[in-house]
Chain A
């Protein structure tokens, strides 16, 4: 068994691959191809890169409808469905100012003609709640097409995809760090890890709105897209799903919903997104001064995934 590890910066974080197989030359060539694929998705979706398709939309779609390629058309259609399925908590235009929201829908997409347009100036699409998961899905497809059956991929550690098993033939073990350890009020007595996952042919995504409710924080890391306000209660979610894009969308939307709504949504709703979810874990801050952060499984569909 040969192990090849490669990494490349993309989408503002580091993407890492760990490939298992017999032929090191082959693994190296495949790893480069998979990283190229991730870079391709960055060039498609990153609004920060003036050369990307999304940057072109952001520049031009206020003035007139913009023709997008077939892949981006499929992504936009998928995100529109996800937006409906999450009651608007997935919002590609979440960066738009709150007062714009009152004007109604900010972007319209004609799937038949592949044309997107913005309904008013000041709109910007941001695929941050989708891109890393989709990039991992595309990279995994590239790996499979070259016969790779065992691999672990991650983007900035918050998005992970596991193919097959690890070098011991077991599902890939993935630790879940205590997200609240990064907060200024963190205690040294808090545990570093709150649990573990065991993944085979599954993807996960973690999202967090940790500064919510802390008065010191002037720059909140996530807004409620329906109100444009900072998220009220601190929360963090890890979602395991059949594919990376679903995990990404769900973890972001749940975070934006707030605890009570997210719990109700997970337990009571049925839709394609939730159907693709395998496990949903919420991380809760300590209840009182002596308490410690802990995790609450909101959904576990496959035994053995959460350990």
Chain B
């Protein structure tokens, strides 16, 4: 692919502001069509693809890549032989294994590189792949520091490369539907979000040699890199990044500041990353970037004038992640003045708010449709509401994921963008940078025990 093509594609990139509201819904629908066209593309030149990092997540990506018609998986790389050997079986005989990814880049010259190495290596590997002229798919979180993420985003821009961050909810039809609902005002004004990822396990990977073995410490740190600060940002980068990306996407901006608390309070086993985190983010949304004002809405209690309604308003978002109680699982709850969205990767639920005009007095009709001239009809037994504690929520509108696996779909979308040399991927480097700044600032706020502004990126 040549540079002038890339430049052309980059110049077509629409301004982010234009993607709010209904056009965002259309963009979502278009993205789904693109997924299908790529899968069905018979006779299309396959993209020569390599995977760097073949542990658990890398193997997931490898398995998905081998089911995509337009993908030619030519090579895989990992410096840990057991992972490379295991992944080679999933990758197939046509994929050449490498222990050194530099050698892979030099010898194989893939068109696209998929990166699933530990977080602290993301910047270096991605930067090397860009240098080698590759388009890049990099697992989340994009980088280990905000500075690295900023540098990487600049390098992507100047290379005019196709770049996507592995935040796969962007490819999930439930979240695409949710984004369209939020941005077209179905929820009214979104005023708060509550998100969490709660699990109950020690988050440790087993080490293949017994404790006391000469290599145990080295291997333990290598395989459990998620638990050590030199390699990982812990719960915020490994889990929170997915969900705060959803919030950034749905609200159309990144937060202004964060207050957070966390610690190593239960799994006191030598890990350095927090085993529980609680964050409170403040987003300041200009009215135009938020949901459309409802022309029928009642006046605000303070007699809201057009002037006050133009002021930015604050949306507060709480986020928590635990390793010792799984009751709430992983979900996001998006709360608006007209309704609530409960979101998970395989199920979405939308509950309408009970609004003031729902009391039923204004419609002077009996249940069977006959007109009455009384304000209320009485006598006989009390009309009882259901005893169910959930009754006030009413029946939800259900949003199902019937289309498939978002990991596979995000890769189909990426390869489709590579083939068309379209840099406007479903989660580009700028989005990755915003996500990185959002989650890493919370970690810093916990360490410094203060509220911190999110760097404007």
Contacts and interface: CB of A to CB of B under 8 A. Distances in A.
A32 interface: yes
A25 B269 CA distance: 10
A51 B404 contact: yes
B206 A67 contact: no
A168 interface: no
B206 A146 contact: yes
Interface string A30-50: 101100100000010000011
Contact of A147 (B69, B90, B210): B210
Given A50-B401, A51-B346, A147-B210, A28 B202 contact: yes
Interface centre among A26, A30, A43, A51 (most CB of B within 10 A): A51
A67 B68 contact: yes
A114 to B, nearest CB: 8
A50 B404 contact: yes
Given A70-B66, A70-B90, A71-B90, A29 B405 contact: no
A29 B205 contact: yes
B300 to A, nearest CB: 43
B194 interface: no
A64 interface: yes
B160 to A, nearest CB: 31
B217 to A, nearest CB: 14
B204 interface: yes
Interface residues of A, number: 29
B40 interface: yes
Interface in A121-154: 145-147
A28 B408 CA distance: 30
Q: Is the interface of B mostly helix, strand, loop or mixed?
A: loop
Given A28-B202, A50-B404, A70 B208 contact: no
Contacts of A28: 202, 204
A15 to B, nearest CB: 15
B210 A23 contact: yes
A69 interface: yes
Interface string B401-412: 111111010000
B89 interface: yes
Chain B: interface residue count, which band? 20 to 34
Contacts of B402: 50
Nearest to B89: A70
B325 interface: no
A71 B67 contact: no
A56 B90 CA distance: 18
Interface centre among B64, B201, B209 (most CB of A within 10 A): B201
Contacts of B405: 43, 51-52, 56
A25 B204 contact: yes
B16 interface: no
A2 B393 CA distance: 48
Nearest to A146: B206
Interface in B191-210: 201-202, 204-210
A245 B36 CA distance: 34
A114 B66 CA distance: 10
Nearest to B66: A69
A114 B69 CA distance: 11
A233 interface: no
A71 B206 contact: no
Given A30-B206, A59-B404, A69-B64, 9 more contacts: A23-B210, A26-B211, A28-B204, A32-B204, A53-B67, A56-B404, A69-B67, A71-B89, A71-B90
12 contacts: A25-B269, A26-B206, A29-B207, A30-B206, A50-B401, A51-B346, A51-B405, A52-B405, A59-B404, A69-B66, A70-B91, A146-B208
Interface of A: 22-23, 25-26, 28-30, 32-33, 36, 43, 49-53, 55-56, 59, 64, 67-71, 114, 145-147
